[in-house]
Structure formats: structure tokens, C-alpha cells
Structure 1
């Protein structure tokens, strides 16, 4: 075989890498349409995994085009540089199955409002402290399991259609007045019932009945 019989290998031309700033012209389902100037070169890009701030139409972004054969280059938006107006900033990692933020100490601070929304919300810690000036809760079902519960307040009000309590021992201590207003009051004890006071009054508008195997007065 002679040297002149060998065919020259043709290596396809490779376009160099390119990067710069551009304006977001259109947001598509899986891509972003960019152009460097109103009449400049246009690009169809994808958002890089490191670009957590989701681009919006009109944003100036930084993009990178990989080196490769013409028609096979991939373009990525790596950062949002500028945003005009007061559009909301949205961190988006929807493509990731899970997001973890790990730090020795983490602080979330909002001047006006902080909102947490999820199908399931979990919180776990050794110690929790909550300080609120005012709190409103709307719950469909509440189940609480605690070894000890202590409530300290000046005024406690409970409004409910039905209240059921079950306990082995129930004890209350009222320093001044304990008042109950009800349509019907029914107290029953399986062992004994005792009412003691310096002055005890029982008044019935129509009937007062005392029934027992033995009745002791005085």
C-alpha cells in the first residue's frame, strides 16, 4: 500500500465556545428564547442547574454556548443579571427530586410575610420556641400527643359544639368564682360524691328531691 492510497480523514469543524449576556424574549415549556440585541443573534437555551433564580421575560441573563459541531451546540442560561420592574423573584428547582439546605445556623427573614406551603409539612427539632403577638389557626383535624402540657394566659376562651374529655384524675383549683350555666347538669359518681362549703344552698323552683337508702341530716 502506498502512502498516496490512504484517504485523508476529515474532521468536522468545531465551533468555539461562546458566552455573553442576552435578553429573555420568550419562555417555553422546556427552553428559553434569547437574543443578544433586538436584531442580534438568537439562541434557544435551557436553564442550568446552578441557576436557581427562574428567568422571566425581559430579564438580562448570562448564557454559555458549548463548543461543538454546528447544529449540535447546547446553550445554557447560568445566571440572571438584571430584572426591571418589581416582578417577584422565584427560586425554582422543580426538576430536582429533592432539595436540601444544610448549615450550622439558618435564618429565614421576611419584612412583610413568610409563607410555607406543601402537601405535607414536617418539622423536627430538640427544642422549639415560638414568639407571636397574634396567632390564628384553621384546622380540620388536630391530634396532639404530649407528655406534659402547660398553658399560661390571662384569658382563655373555648368555643365548640361538643367537648369530650377523658382522664384518670381531673383536678381544678379556682381562687374566686367557678360558674357553670347549662340547660341540664348531670353529675354521677360510681363511688361517692361530696359537696362541702361554709354555706350550701340548693334551690328548686318546683321540686327538690333527695333519695337514698339512708338520709342523715344535721
Structure 2
């Protein structure tokens, strides 16, 4: 698979080929070691510059057993065969290249926890469902826009705020069995018509 390709039409100068044939790539299973500048090197080829192949999404670390291809002064880490520390997390990285996952259906399961951290997060869906025993939302500003909204609370619905303003373009209805409006300072009721009783 990695045999040297010989060109019969290579130009010849003074009885020697003008262009030398490329070296045969070597596939090796080896450990990663740390270089003098802090970079990673292959234990079997410590003088070859190591580059992580585009298809190797798991970030290799020092001490890992990797499958590497070496050709001349260059080496590519193709895959991580064994982690140096079995408990170390697996890190998927595409360097500076975006990562797209496309499938008819996608399931992501974390038996203990899932954490997502990003500067911007967008969720676009025809139907969305959130089910939780406890749901906490914390935001500097919260904006909700909907054509229709319906909320049902079986027990207590409590709101605490410095100021509350409610505006209805057409009508507002308050219906309850027992009601009370309490104001510690001033209570004002203003309307074109006020009906009591």
C-alpha cells in the first residue's frame, strides 16, 4: 500500500535522477513523548515533526500509544490506540475546522451529567420538549415571544420583582374564589366606568 512509486520518465542529470523518489511511509505503533519545546514527538522517531491527522478527532497526549505514519521528517498521528491514563477524559478536537454531524436521528446520553459551554447557542426545532424534575433558568435578560401562551400551575405560582407592569390591548380578566389586593401606601383604580359589587 505504501510502496515507493518509481517514475521511468524522471529527468536524468549526469547519470543521476534529477528528482529523488519519495521515501516509503512507515506505519508504527509508538508512544508519544514530550519534546524540548513542549511539543509531542514519537518515541520511535523522535526527530520527526508530529502532526495530528485530520481524521484523528481524539486529541493525543503525552504517553499515549498511537498509530502513526512516518515519512521522512514528517509524522502524522492517525489514531489513539491506548491512553496513558485510563481515567483521562477523551477530548474530540478538529483544531480550527468546524465540525458538522448529520444523521436521521441523534441521541446524546450522559449517565451523570452533560455540560455545554459556548459564546452563542441556537436551537431551531419544529417541536421542542423539556422534561425535568427541577428546571432553573438564570439570565441577565429574558425575552419570550409567542403567538399564544398557556401556563398551568397546580399549586403556588409566585412572582417576586422590583416592579411589575402588565399591559393588555383589549381585555384582562382576573377570576378566583377568594381575592385580595393590598397596598401599603397608595392604591388607585381609574377607568371610564368602575363597577363594584
Return 5+ residue gaps in structure 1 as ranges: 1-5, 197-218
Measure, in 1, the Cα distance between the counterparts of 2:159 and 2:24.
72
TM-score computed with the length of structure 2 as normaliser: 0.82
Instruction: Establish whether residue 26 from structure 1 lines up as the match of residue 26 from structure 2.
Output: no
1:129 to 1:28, Cα distance in 2 relative to 1, 3 A:
farther
Structure 2 unaligned residues grouped into runs of 5+: 1-12
1:16 matched residue in structure 2:
24
> Of the two, which has the highest radius of gyration?
1
Partner of 1:87: 88
What residue in structure 2 maps to residue 3 of structure 1?
A: none
CA RMSD, 1 decimal: 2.2
TM-score after normalising by structure 1: 0.75
Residues 40 and 62, structure 2, Cα contact 8 Å, conserved in 1: no
In structure 2, the residue corresponding to 1:64 is in which secondary structure? Answer: strand
The offset of 1:9, in angstroms, is: 2.8
Indicate conservation of the 8 Å contact 1:52/1:93, yes or no: yes
Q: Is the 8 A contact 1:46 1:76 kept in 2?
A: yes
Q: Secondary structure of the residue that 2:16 maps to in structure 1? A: coil
Q: Which runs of 4+ in 1 moved over 4 A?
A: 27-31
Aligned to 2:3: none
Residue matched to 2:54: 49
What is the number of equivalent residue pairs in this alignment?
179
CA change 1:94–1:167 in 2 (3 A) is farther
Counterpart check, 1:109 vs 2:114: no
Q: Is the 8 A contact 1:27 1:57 kept in 2?
A: no
Give 1:31 shift.
Answer: 5.4
Alignment of 1:1-218 (within 5 A): 7-10=14-17, 11-12=19-20, 14-26=22-34, 32-36=40-44, 41-42=45-46, 43-66=48-71, 70=72, 73-83=73-83, 84-96=85-97, 98-154=98-154, 155-168=156-169, 169-174=171-176, 176-183=177-184, 184-189=186-191, 191-196=192-197
